Amino acid sequence: MTEEYKDTTEAAIASTRIITDSCVRSQTVKRLIYTASVIDFFLAYIKSKTLAEKEVLSYNEIQHGKLEVVSLACALVGGDILLSYLPATCTLSAIISQLTSNLPYYNALRFLQEFLGSIPLLHIDDVCEAHIFCMEKQSLRGRFICENYPQLRISPE
């Protein structure tokens, strides 16, 4: 974090604004697709992501909507990874936490299940297809939830 921003939320909003303003100034970018998440395990990050998403979607109303902004809010994403190892911060680590006894991720999944009733899952291929769909539409703007079934249900301890 630089001294320019007081917290992660302020930095996320500012960087979102910089990217979106650059798209508008270019006069060549027709649509910006913002990939968001409906699931996160850290409250501070949830706040910054939510406010950054709200900021980017506000550009649909600015300058008569010269820039179409689409937000794809994705469920917990899993699928193939290109790395030869599983990063600790990878959502796949959370998905398999019950098998690997990763208690912090397992507890986070239990919280999500209690809060949402189940844990929405999405394969990375579906995320790619959703982006292609958004790019190929003649005109599109707004927020869309990207989720697939079945949903994960974890067993009690």
Catalytic residue among 6, 30, 47, 49: 49
DSSP character string of 47-74: HHHHHHHHHHHGGGTGGGG-SEEEEEEE
Active-site residue 47, yes or no? Answer: no
Which stretches of the chain are DSSP H helices? Answer: 8-26, 43-57, 91-95, 97-100, 103-116, 124-136
Q: Which amino acid is at 95?
A: I
Name 1's Cβ contacts closer than 8 Å, sequence gap at least 6: 7, 8, 11
User: Which residues participate in catalysis according to the annotation?
Assistant: 49
